[in-house]
């Protein structure tokens, strides 16, 4: 990832290497059932693109 942080699980899902049961998919995000749920219903929502906000100044 461009920000130096590696999220193995999300990268595996987005690349198609890890098969998941999708709940909803849009142009910008993906929602799916967690492969090892902690709760009875455990849905994960991830962005399809990563954004680095390090260049922005907050006032």
Per-residue pLDDT at 20 exceeds 60: yes
Q: Give the pLDDT confidence score for residue 55 in this predicted structure.
A: 56
Q: What is the pTM of this model?
A: 0.68
Measured CA to CA, the distance from residue 21 to residue 25 in angstroms comes to: 11
What beta strand segments (E) does 1-59 contain?
Answer: 22-25, 29-33, 43-47
Mean pLDDT of 37-59: 77
Per-residue pLDDT at 39 exceeds 80: yes
Kindly indicate the confidence band of residue 1, based on its pLDDT and cuts at 50, 70 and 90: very low
Q: Give the pLDDT confidence score for residue 10 in this predicted structure.
A: 82
């Amino acid at each position: 990832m461009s920000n130096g942080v590696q999220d193995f699980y999300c990268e595996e899902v987005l690349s198609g290497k890890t098969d998941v049961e999708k709940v909803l998919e849009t142009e910008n995000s993906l929602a799916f059932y967690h492969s090892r749920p902690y709760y009875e219903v455990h849905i994960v929502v991830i962005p399809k693109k990563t954004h680095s906000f390090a260049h922005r100044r907050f006032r």
